[in-house]
């Protein structure tokens, strides 16, 4: 593993699939296994988030939203792991972004370095979902790592029955993406 140098980089991992046995959740687990020294990835659970509703926000964020915002706001960087649903990102991920981008002026998800990866059982992977996600990043002034692109297709051949990522080449790509995220985060910290 590569030493990130300096203090630990805290990364909030946001998975766009709620299913525990999803390949994308397995991809996040793999990231946690290969994370470089000096990096700590935390799985931020999106299951309990209610649908974004300004009335709820005005009344005071529900406890699940408060915990989510604290996890995202306390992270140095974000790691989005997304499947592709109907040529885009899943609603659960968009909902999390909507909560994380509010209220105006106190946005926990704004101006952070980010990395994106994802997998799909189909032949195309997650290119279109990641493109949509990156367009959302512009609104939040999120700074994404561009390479390596991890848009895995036919994911069933990359994971074992327990959901563990077994493809060594993909594990190396994930590690490279995380090293890039760490370097990018440190560079932005020093600017």
Cα torsion through 27, 32, 33, 36, rounded to 10: 120
Helix-then-strand count for the chain, H and E:
6, 6
Q: Is the peptide bond before 148 cis (omega within 30 degrees of 0)?
A: yes
CB 97 within 8 A of CB 51: no
Give tens-digit pLDDT for 153-176: 999 999 999 999 999 999 999 999
At residue 183, the pLDDT reads 96
Report d(CA 151, CA 24) in Å as an integer. Answer: 11
Residue 190 pLDDT: 78
pLDDT number for residue 20: 87
Q: At residue 84, does pLDDT exceed 70?
A: yes
**Residue range 116-159, pLDDT digits in tens:** 999 999 898 999 999 999 999 999 999 999 999 999 999 999 99
- pLDDT > 60? residue 5: no
Cβ within 8 Å of residue 189, ≥6 positions away:
76
Q: Label residue 4 by pLDDT band (50, 70, 90).
A: very low
What domains can be seen in the chain, in order of their start residue? Answer: 9-190 (3.40.50.360)
Three-state secondary-structure class, residue 166: coil
Residues 89-125 pLDDT 10s: 999 999 999 999 988 777 889 999 999 999 999 898 9
């Amino acid at each position: 593993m590569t030493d990130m140098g300096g203090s630990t980089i805290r990364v909030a991992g946001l998975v766009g699939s709620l299913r525990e046995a999803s390949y994308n959740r397995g991809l996040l687990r793999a990231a946690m296994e290969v994370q470089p020294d000096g990096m700590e990835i935390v799985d931020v659970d999106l299951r309990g988030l209610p649908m974004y509703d300004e009335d709820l926000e005005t009344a005071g964020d529900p406890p699940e939203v408060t915990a989510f915002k604290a996890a995202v706001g306390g992270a140095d960087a974000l790691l989005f792991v997304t499947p592709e649903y109907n040529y885009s990102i899943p609603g659960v991920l968009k909902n999390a972004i909507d909560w994380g981008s509010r209220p105006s002026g106190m946005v926990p998800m704004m101006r952070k370095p980010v990395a994106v990866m994802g997998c799909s059982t189909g032949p195309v992977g997650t290119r279109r979902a990641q493109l949509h996600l990156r367009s959302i990043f512009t609104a939040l002034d999120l700074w994404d790592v561009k390479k390596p692109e991890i848009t895995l297709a036919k994911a069933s051949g990359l994971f074992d029955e327990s959901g563990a990522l077994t493809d060594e080449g993909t594990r190396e790509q994930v590690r490279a993406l995380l090293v890039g995220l760490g370097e990018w985060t440190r560079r932005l910290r020093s600017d």
